[in-house]
Chain A
Amino acid sequence: KNQVEQSPQSLIILEGKNCTLQCNYTVSPFSNLRWYKQDTGRGPVSLTIMTFSENTKSNGRYTATLDADTKQSSLHITASQLSDSASYICVGGASGTYKYIFGTGTRLKVLA
């Protein structure tokens, strides 16, 4: 069964600190792994997309890693800002289908 699990469920950090969010996936046949940021009441916005051949991808202060062997991904946020407060969703894409498998997300709260 295709599934994506994320940890932690929620996280609170102080502004300026770094944090790392985790994602374990079981998606077969695996095509790509994405990270989205979702503000409350808004649609998800893409941060990074990685295929199985990519190990890391950065988008500003966001850096995602992918280990296709262990089926794990992480999203590292550097020098967090108050505007980083949101839900971060890990999404798996399977080959041969345009359907996406969504994780339940990590709710991040950045405090001043």
Chain B
Amino acid sequence: GAVVSQHPSWVICKSGTSVKIECRSLDFQATTMFWYRQFPKQSLMLMATSNEGSKATYEQGVEKDKFLINHASLTLSTLTVTSAHPEDSSFYICTPRSSDVEAFFGQGTRLTVV
């Protein structure tokens, strides 16, 4: 199955700054990467789907100008939270689309905006 590495595992940033989260598929070429967000005691919610070489698709209610997604290669997708605010504090997780039934998740990034 796919091995997914996410970096950083946690980050604290000041309000108004931008934060980039990387998601690497280590042994698998991921043409598609799913980005999820999880608030405390809530379920994972799909934010967007990144596609290698093309624009990401965003779920309803997710601001595409705030959450910039880049999927420049088959092994790397990045999510940049621009002008972060405290309400963006959350747990962000990625998982590549796989032809297998299995879905492997990154270890997640805990973002805290102060």
Query: Chain A nearest CB: distance from B69 CB in Å?
Result: 16
A93 touching B101, Cβ below 8 Å:
yes
Which residue of the partner chain B has the closest CB to A6? B43
Point out the residue from A32, A41, A91, A98 that lies within 8 Å of B34, measured CB to CB: A98
A44 touching B101, Cβ below 8 Å:
no
Point out the residue from A41, A42, A49, A89 that lies within 8 Å of B102, measured CB to CB: A49
* Interface-lining segment among A14-22, A59-67, A70-78, A99-107: A99-107
Q: What are the residues of chain A within 8 A of B41 when measuring CB–CB?
A: 107
A43 touching B43, Cβ below 8 Å:
no
The yes or no answer to B44 lying at the interface (CB within 8 A) is yes
Listed from nearest, the 8 A-B pairs whose CB atoms lie closest are: A43-B105, A102-B43, A104-B43, A43-B108, A98-B97, A102-B44, A43-B107, A44-B105
Task: Report B's interface with A, CB cutoff 8 A.
Answer: 4, 6, 10, 32, 34, 41-46, 49, 91, 93, 97-98, 101-108, 110
Task: Report A's interface with B, CB cutoff 8 A.
Answer: 31-32, 34, 41-46, 49, 51, 89, 91, 93, 98-100, 102-105, 107
